[in-house]
């Protein structure tokens, strides 16, 4: 059986396990909340992450349209870029968790040479996705620094004009 077909059949479980792996990168109390709270208004981070991971995985199976990939990766990276608990590598490292999840899910199928060679090709797509995530992370961090600089300039201007 072709890898793409196997991944499509196991898509729901793979995405669920990927989501849980990503959420486990948060502190334990936060991870517990993100996994259990299903209300999108009470848990926008969990909801956004899950929806984005679903879209990313689907796009990986379809063909990796750059614009579509960026639209799914943007919300996750944007959230992780502003959270001080993550280093840059941790902020984008969630992408690589997918490889681990897929290998675990396909343990039986990987004994077939054809599936294994197709998996290696698929994993190169995941690697490319990580580069997109890093680009987005840097873009978000640059925006944060820009906003801080503008805020500081405005504060200094206000103080200089006597409007404290």
Q: Is residue 81 part of a domain?
A: yes
pLDDT in tens, 106-120: 998 888 888 988 999
DSSP structure class, residue 9: H
Q: Is residue 147 part of a domain?
A: no
Q: Characterise 45 by phi-psi region: left (phi > 0), alpha (psi -120 to 50), beta (else).
A: alpha
| Tally of domains within the chain | 1
Closest residue by Cα to residue 35 from 24, 27, 90: 24
pTM of the model: 0.85
Buried b (16+ CB within 10 A) or exposed e, 114-152: ebeebbeebeeebeebbebbbebbeebeeeeeeeeeeee
The average confidence (pLDDT) of the chain is 93
pLDDT in tens, 51-75: 999 999 999 999 889 999 999 999 9
Q: What are phi and psi of 100, to 5 degrees?
A: -65, -45
- Please state, in angstroms and as integers, the Cα–Cα distance from residue 43 to each residue in 34, 94, 95, 112, 127, following that order: 7, 19, 21, 41, 29
Q: Is residue 123 part of a domain?
A: yes
Q: Is residue 84 part of a domain?
A: yes
pLDDT at 99: 96
Residue 37: which domain range?
3-139
Q: Is residue 23 part of a domain?
A: yes
Q: Is residue 163 part of a domain?
A: no
Sign of the CA dihedral with 52 first, then 15, 32, and 81 last? negative
Contact (Cβ atoms closer than 8 angstroms) between residue 82 and residue 140 = yes
The pLDDT-based confidence of 31 (bands split at 50, 70, 90) is: very high
């Amino acid at each position: 059986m072709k890898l793409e077909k196997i991944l499509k059949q196991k898509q729901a479980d793979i995405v669920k396990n990927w989501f849980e792996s990503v959420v486990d990168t948060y502190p334990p109390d936060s991870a517990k909340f993100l996994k259990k709270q299903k209300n999108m208004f009470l848990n926008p981070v969990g909801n956004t992450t899950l929806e984005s991971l679903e879209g990313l995985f689907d796009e990986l199976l379809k063909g990796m349209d750059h614009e579509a990939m960026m639209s799914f990766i943007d919300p996750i990276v944007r959230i992780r870029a502003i959270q001080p608990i993550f280093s840059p590598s941790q902020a984008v490292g969630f992408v690589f968790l997918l490889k681990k999840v897929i290998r675990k899910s396909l343990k039986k199928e990987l004994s077939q040479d054809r599936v294994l060679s197709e998996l290696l090709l698929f994993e190169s797509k995941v690697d490319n996705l990580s580069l997109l995530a890093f680009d987005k992370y840097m873009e978000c961090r640059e925006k944060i620094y820009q906003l801080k600089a503008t805020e500081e300039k405005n504060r200094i201007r206000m103080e200089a004009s006597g409007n404290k």
